[in-house]
Amino acid sequence: MRVTVHVTRRPEIADPQGKAVSRALADLEYHNVREVRIDRTIHLDIDNDDPEEVHYQVDRMCAEVLVNPVLEDYVAEIHT
């Protein structure tokens, strides 16, 4: 079963990667770019056809490895 996990930094948490890109764009004279934020999307292929079990497993994997719960939020999308 295919799963997409959208991981976003919480709005109140600074995004150093986005800030670095923002500075690079300003150096190239793109002065009208007000903000850059960079999120990640994790695509998983899980060998299990039960959406409920997959959802439970994905939540556990997010808590253990995929997401930093202090800085980030996530939404998991199960493609049934």
Binding site for a copy of itself (CB under 8 A): 6, 18, 21, 24-25, 28, 30, 32-48, 57, 61, 64-66
3-state DSSP assignment of residue 4: strand
Closest CB to a copy of itself among 38 and 71? 38
CA atoms of 22 and 7, how far apart (whole Å): 20
Q: How far is CA 49 from CA 1, 14, 72, 78, 80, in A?
A: 6, 38, 28, 10, 8
Please, which residue, 21 or 71, has the CB nearer to a copy of itself? 21
- For the bound state, the minimum distance from the C-beta of residue 14 to a copy of itself, rounded and expressed in Å, comes to 14
Rounded least distance, CB 33 to a copy of itself, Å: 6
Residue 37 Cβ vs a copy of itself, minimum distance, rounded to whole Å = 5
Residue 18 has which token pair?
């986005």
